[in-house]
Structure 1
Amino acid sequence: MSGVLRRILAFVLSGVLAGPALSQELGAMARFEAGNVQDRWGGSELRIEISQGVPWRIFTLTNPNRLVMDFREVQWADADPSALDKSDRIAGVRMGGYRPGWSRLVADLAEPLIVESAELVTDVSDGGATITIRLEQTDQASFDLAAGAPRDPRWDLPAPAVVDTVPPRDPDRVSIVLDPGHGGIDPGAERDGITEADLMLTFGRELQDVLRRAGGFDVMLTRDGDYFVSLEARVAAARDAGADVFISLHADALAEGEARGAAVYVLSDEASDAASAALAERHNRDDLLAGIDLSQSDDRVANVLMSLARLDNAPRSEALAKHMLDGIRNAVGRVHKRPLRSAGFSVLKAADIPSVLLEVGFLSTEEDLKNLSDPIWRQGMAAGIRDGIIAWRDEDRALAPLRRN
């Protein structure tokens, strides 16, 4: 037991006491009633009697050597410190209030002593408690090694973090978070040595540059390398950045059939078609494949509140999707035959941020694969997206006074 106690000790809770004699309210302050110390061969024994059991802890400190006992909370008014320092090994004792709700006893040690055992025993007849501490002689090096206050999360809060002052947002600028899909252990769709993850990271960087050069946009990526980012983390990154717009970038491959041209998805509980439902299911499964299972993290109340928030935000997302499609159509001349779609993509579930998922093209289609691999074509696509976002921004600002706050 001594090995466990050397690092010291646990809180001893009095809440387990029971019996008719304890009809007094144990939450009241305990009283110090008696105490003594006796030297014994190789150490000392300290006994303290209080009117009721209370949570407590004990530890040693160095420079100078001392024994510390914290109680919640003991009234020391009638305590006689001299009764506790009649020992060659204890030089002096003092006690009193330490912090709100807690009191402290400190015994200055004349020589290095470590705690061999410590226990609190209650009297079932009257609720009184006796604390017995056995101290054992040791050398200074061992004492120093065992000394130190035990960490308690209720007391030892971390030091305040140094937080940089956030400059006020420029209301004339739009914050955009681009989300290159997949990455790392999740390469996404693959064809002819080209992966969706790599291609969308390249396009995301190109689009970021086009938007920045347009002026009025602050743009960041959810990932800027080939590594995995969970769906939840992607949404959290947008929220942490204070995003005004979230755009997830993809270029999927179809196992059956053929599709070509860009399509933009918005969030919906019911998919607009079977293909959209299958696509959303495959995207939402990415976290499970990477070892992250968020399927049990649902909170019904939170979901209801977020659904209410999305009632206001959904029209803004749909307007963004339509303007982006207009810009893409004008820039590259073609979009998907049914370009505006909806499905339950988890990555679009930020309740307070207009969010869309853009299928830039389909790797399973030869023509789209050729376009996606062409940097000149990608520049045209990025320019079309930029124009669509600018048109949406101007319209959204004009409609802002009409929205509910």
Structure 2
Amino acid sequence: MVKLFKPLVFATLLGLSASLLMGGSASAQSGLTALARADSGASALVDQGERVEMMLRLSQPVPFRIFTLDEPRRMVIDFAEVDWTGFDTEQFDTAEGITGLRVGGFVPGWSRMVLDLAGPFRLVHAQMSRDDKGAVLTLTLDPTASDEFALGAGTPPDAQLVRPSTDDAPKAAPARKLGEGPLRVVLDPGHGGIDPGAERDGVVEKELTLTFARELQDVLNRAGGFEVTLTRAEDLFVPLETRLTLAREAGADVFLSIHADAIAEGRAEGATIYTLAARASDAASQKLAERHDRSDLLSGVDLTGQDDVIATVLMDMARTETTPRTERLADALVEQLDESVGMHKRPRLEAGFSVLKAPDMPSVLIELGFLSSAKDRAKLVDPAWRTKAAWAIRDALSAWEDEEISLRDKLRK
């Protein structure tokens, strides 16, 4: 039986109650064990006339939930929990009614599949059935009216997203001045989980950024004088807004977002440091920022109601003090990285990356290199090159902190 909730949420699994399916410990309560493995070779997503049908082969049954999002139209299927390793989305999806498909980890205990819909569809059938080979999830989607789709779309209130509730959220670290303790550095490995980032010749950005962040964390910890926090320590999706929330909770003195993108426009190679600006330095930077911000949307996050004009004005006022400090941080990083590993011919660029919009902490985005460049890929997968880059960032952070303390002391006199 398929049970309907508002907003549009379907959940069913071998007689388990809907309330159990929407909870975080469904697998444990039902006696099921993670992880179920998905088999793309034994699965299919196909057109049947105007209808779209899906058959997903899993190694065992798992709790799941389904909801839809509008603008653009997407259907989100959350599982507790599926291992997507080796899952071939191109082999699986041959339906013209589905224009794109992504799978991956989402938050602890949950995996996600996102279907981009060619038009408004409604879910008319959803069932998880057990057999001697494990389990099969079957779905049927029928065309529906646009207004009916929009009416039912939205994230269910109890869908588990990354951002904790106010009651459960850890308290922000107490504020203090530079020099009164270790420099609090928040490292933000770009992408993760259902959002892989750039991919070239078997090198995946989300894996590379996490590897480098862990290596940089180790370098900083060994150096002493640093307190390091990662926005993600495993292959999970973290929304952009949550990355900044985590940085504030850590009391970050510095926020470094780490990436290794690929660009289709022209040729680019070498490390680049990005700072925030309303107008991008060039067209490639603008498209890069747009692609970064779109990752939340494509991963099934509901971005409605995000604009707040008053809050934007207040943040712009706060940036008056933070911006010069950010510029000095970017300059220090360019100086050290250029001496150590070399950089892009334009090492300092600007763009409107949302992950850099925190008004209360110096924030930069470090493009370690571009996966679209064979030369950069060779460097990025070389542990020795990454170690030199980590040492350079360490030295830049130390130099920047010393400069900030010196400037502050001069202003006092």
| Structure 1 and Structure 2 fold alike (TM over 0.5) | yes
- C-alpha deviations, 1:313-367, integer Å up to 9, x for none? 01111110110111111111x1010110111100001100000000000011011
1:216 corresponds in structure 2 to 225
Partner letter of residue 327 of structure 2?
Answer: E
- C-alpha deviations, 1:31-63, integer Å up to 9, x for none? xxxxxxxxxxxxxxxxxxxxxxxxxxxxxxxxx
- C-alpha deviations, 1:186-245, integer Å up to 9, x for none? 000001111000000000000011111111100010000001000000000000100000
Contact 2:172 2:251 in 1 (8 A): no
Q: What SS does structure 2 have at the residue aligned with 1:285?
A: helix
Contact 2:186 2:252 in 1 (8 A): yes
Following superposition, the deviation at residue 288 of structure 1 comes to 0.4
1:253 matches 2:291? no
1:236 matches 2:245? yes
Cα distance between partner residues in 2 of 1:378 and 1:339 = 18
- C-alpha deviations, 1:373-392, integer Å up to 9, x for none? 00011000101111111111
Cα distance between partner residues in 2 of 1:260 and 1:165 = 38
2:370 corresponds in structure 1 to 362
TM-score, scaled to structure 2: 0.56
Matches within 5 A, 1:99-248: 171-248=180-257
Per mean C-alpha deviation after superposition, the further-off stretch among 165-174 and 391-400 is 165-174
- C-alpha deviations, 1:99-129, integer Å up to 9, x for none? xxxxxxxxxxxxxxxxxxxxxxxxxxxxxxx
Cα distance between partner residues in 2 of 1:285 and 1:358 = 19
1:323 corresponds in structure 2 to 332
Paired residue for 1:275, among 271, 284, 307? 284
Partner letter of residue 289 of structure 2?
Answer: A
2:72 corresponds in structure 1 to none
Paired residue for 1:289, among 292, 298, 320? 298
Structure 2 vs 1, CA of residues 165 and 354 (structure 1 numbering), >3 Å: closer, same or farther? closer
Cα distance between partner residues in 1 of 2:170 and 2:385 = 43
1:397 corresponds in structure 2 to 405
Paired residue for 2:275, among 266, 276, 280? 266
Cα distance between partner residues in 1 of 2:198 and 2:310 = 36
TM-score, scaled to structure 1: 0.57
Give the number of the structure whose alpha-carbon radius of gyration is greater: 1
Structure 2 vs 1, CA of residues 174 and 283 (structure 1 numbering), >3 Å: closer, same or farther? same
Identity among equivalent positions (%) equals 56
1:383 matches 2:391? yes
Following superposition, the deviation at residue 168 of structure 1 comes to 8.7
1:349 matches 2:361? no
Contact 2:172 2:250 in 1 (8 A): no
Cα distance between partner residues in 1 of 2:309 and 2:172 = 36
Cα distance between partner residues in 2 of 1:295 and 1:165 = 26
Cα distance between partner residues in 2 of 1:294 and 1:178 = 24
Structure 2 vs 1, CA of residues 162 and 317 (structure 1 numbering), >3 Å: closer, same or farther? closer
Following superposition, the deviation at residue 294 of structure 1 comes to 2.4
Partner letter of residue 316 of structure 1?
Answer: R
What is the aligned residue count? 244
Q: What SS does structure 2 have at the residue aligned with 1:321?
A: helix
